[in-house]
Amino acid sequence: MSQVVRENMMERLSDLAALDKEEIFNMTDAEIEYYHWLYFEESVYDLM
């Protein structure tokens, strides 16, 4: 993952109350992608 994409995802995740910046900063790329998918990606099942 590029640094720009990582910083973008970290910024969006830091806006959530459940995650603080220190916790996000220590995450791996895979963890950041997972949490971004979990909180921001829409699924077909979300729309049902």
pLDDT in the model for residue 40: 81
Q: What is the reported pLDDT for 38?
A: 85
Residue 23 burial (CB count, 10 A): 13
pLDDT tens profile 1-48: 899 999 988 988 888 767 788 888 999 999 999 988 888 877 666 566
Cα angle: 4, vertex 45, 12; to 5 degrees: 25
What's the pLDDT score for residue 17? Answer: 65
Amino acid at 16: L
Q: At what angle do helices 29-40 and 3-14 cross, to 10 degrees?
A: 50
Residue ranges per structural domain of the chain: 3-47
pLDDT of residue 47: 61
